[in-house]
Amino acid sequence: MLYICIGKRNKKNSVKLVTITNTKYRKEFKIFLKFNDWVTGMVDLKNHLDGEIFKPLKNQDYF
């Protein structure tokens, strides 16, 4: 399981911890994300898989 946390400032200038609550594979290297603040969106990781550690993920069957 992958956890990504993002600090997000609200109107009172305090930081709110935003985490991914749901993910769904869509196609190719695209993943749909849902966060605990109800924001949703699609991320395309195709151009972000750089480096030796991500080499296996460049194979779509493995991804």
Kindly report the pTM of this predicted structure: 0.65
Q: Is the pLDDT of residue 3 over 80?
A: no
Burial of 11-37, coded b for 16+ CB within 10 Å and e otherwise, reads eeeeeeeeebeeeeeeeebebeeebee
Of the two residues 58 and 34, the one the predictor is more confident about is: 34
What pLDDT digit, counting tens, does each position of 8-56 carry?
Answer: 666 676 667 788 899 999 998 999 999 888 989 999 988 888 889 888 8
Write down the pLDDT at residue 42: 93
pLDDT at residue 2 is higher than 60 = no
For the segment 1-11, the average pLDDT, to the nearest whole number, is 59
- Domain segments of the chain: what residues? 5-58
